[in-house]
Structure 1
Amino acid sequence: MSPNQLGWLQGSLGMLIFAGSLPATRIAVLDLAPMLLTSARAVIAGLLALLLLAVLRPPRPRRSEWPAVALTAVGGVIGFPLLTALALETISATRALVFVGLLPLCTALWGQWRSGERPGTAFWLCAVIGSACVSGYALASGEPGHRLGDGLMVASILLCGMGYAEGASLTRRLGGWQVISWALVGALPLMALWLLLSWPTQPLAWSAGAIWSLLYVSVFSMLVGFIFWYRGLALGGIAAVGQLQLLQPFIGMALAALLLDESISAGMLAAAAAAAVCVGAAKHMAARQR
């Protein structure tokens, strides 16, 4: 298997793991305040990352690499989890997934700016069409949006695209699990303090669904998914492999239908098929460029 093919495979695994993040977050915020959820998931993942680093002892990032580690943490550890949790207090998981359709384009733009990638015109055309298919479908078919929730989701996508591009660029030098581990450990003191300040004074009354959702977003969304995703972006190209997330909203919508009783329509399936075509075309263009 070539490095490019391995990149697409690992990117696909990361995307599938991430697809459950917003439905799980929506379940968790029914019992946990957004600040508590964000800090708790970061602390749990940070402690696991600290254990990984202590056992495997990889080289520390160079001084010049720490700013990129910090941006990775701001985007993936703090910004995206917090803003999506706040947004999901006012909008449904299905509507929030609308905005994930813009993430591949945002990631590609960050990758071009920060990592020097230069996809061709045909690639950008596929990326724009794919984003338009996903977002256009969901905006046309979804419920009326809440202005604050929509704005929070847009901000979360901008930060997430930055975190993906920075993390993928570092992965080429440090390795995928090392990048997310250093980002989580770097943010751990702040997030631990945040957890203490946001811990509720009244007795906890979390449902089993909220607890399992917290564990999912902590272990898989915050750590395991990033290991596959950053490695996939590094091997297959940030802009190209990032287009896999055109499929993430539809997988997430299917999970939302299963877990939250949200409906799936024929239009959703048609838009998913169009997005899949755009992903395939982007992969073909990236392979030709290579």
Structure 2
Amino acid sequence: MTAQNSATRPTSIAVQGKAGSGSALAGLGVVAFSLTFPATAWGLESFGPWSLVAVRSVLAAMIAGAFLLARRAPLPARAHWAGLAVVAAGVVVGFPLLTTLALQTSTTSHAAVVVGLLPLTTAVVSSLRTGARPSRRFWAAAVAGAVIVLGFTLGQSGGSLSAGDGYLFGALLVCAAGYTEGGRLARLLPGWQVIGWALVLCLPLSLAGSVLGLAYEPAHLTAHGVIGLVWVAAGSTFLGLYVWYRGMAEIGAARASQLQLAQPLLTLVWSVALLGEHMSPAAPVAAGAVLVCIAVTQRVK
């Protein structure tokens, strides 16, 4: 073995290890996100849509603020605040609010249509924002996965579009922007600080929204409602986004976004287990096809 090969081999192993850990972190985020719609459906048993989103953001901001104080995190540089505002608008306010409004008229399985299209949308937005140019094989696998998920979820809902689709497609766009900007910032700041400061930035708005929301939408607490609220605040909004942005920083927004192709199918599993919704026998076939697409996107640049 030459000296040059000896020097490059450890570097290659380190890069592969970093990619593996990044994929694992992003995958953990996907699992957390897959519970969001069922947990939101539970939360709507106790709260109105506006108050649920506002209270969830307040609780998540309190958790994030405690972490920031405990770790004595410095304030972000002024140059980062605009990006944090995009993250806050997209993933802290926009996506939760629009999907919660949609779930008043749509089932969780139907809402999974949007999640199935989110990876492709994120890849497009990321390419426009960062100038990254994934290969044609990457785009072919990404589009194929999106088509499979879209066809499967539309088949589950009888091929029709619900009245909440306007909310869902709006959520798709704002979330893709938030993911892309958060992934960019996570290369400059620790991932937990990206979502932490975004949540803190929204706290004044969230507090005002909670007061107004609870005044117009009185809460009727149930066990499901409280569990749903706690999960969307601590699990989806803080923990999920924390590991998601860390993983995205290591493997890139485009590759990380393709892991979300598995999210609609995971959501359907949770919907059956937690909400009693029906899942057709076609689910395992669709899951296998989607996993193939995921494998391809993770092996190409």
| TM norm. shorter chain > 0.5 | yes
Q: Is the 8 A contact 2:156 2:280 kept in 1?
A: no
Q: Distance in 2 between matches of 1:155 and 1:204?
A: 27
Tell me which amino acid in the other structure corresponds to 2:86.
L
Summarize the alignment of residues 1-290 of structure 1 with structure 2, pairs less than 5 Å apart: 2-143=17-158, 145=160, 147-200=162-215, 204-286=219-301
| Secondary structure in structure 2 of the residue aligned to 1:60 | coil
Cα RMSD between the aligned structures?
1.4
Structure 2 CA distance for aligned equivalents of residues 252 and 160 of structure 1 = 17
> CA 1:202 to 1:272, structure 2 compared with 1: closer, same or farther past 3 Å?
closer
* Alignment check: 8 A CA contact 1:28 1:209 kept: yes
Query: C-alpha distance in 2, partners of 1:81/1:111?
Result: 21
Count of matched residue positions in the alignment of Structure 1 and Structure 2: 286
- SS of the equivalent of 2:132 reads coil
User: Any idea what the Cα deviations from partners look like across 1:114-151, whole Å, max 9, x if unmatched?
Assistant: 22221111101110000000011111231464543111
Q: Secondary structure at the match of 1:265?
A: coil
The CA deviation string for residues 217-276 of structure 1, in whole angstroms up to 9 with x for no partner, is 000101000111001111011101210100000011000001111112221221111110
Q: Tell me the distance in 1 between the aligned counterparts of 2:132 and 2:244.
A: 17
Structure 1: where are the runs of 5+ without partners? none
Pick which of 27-36 and 65-74 moved more. 27-36
**Aligned-pair identity (%):** 38
Contact 1:43 1:192 in 2 (8 A): yes
Distance in 2 between residues matched to 1:62 and 1:241, nearest whole Å: 26
Q: Per-residue CA shift, 1:18-64, capped at 9, x if unaligned? A: 11001111121133111000000000000111111111122322112
SS in 1 for 2:127: helix
Which of the two has higher C-alpha Rg?
2
TM-score, reference length from structure 1: 0.95
Relative distance call for 1:105 and 1:201 in structure 2 (3 A) is: closer
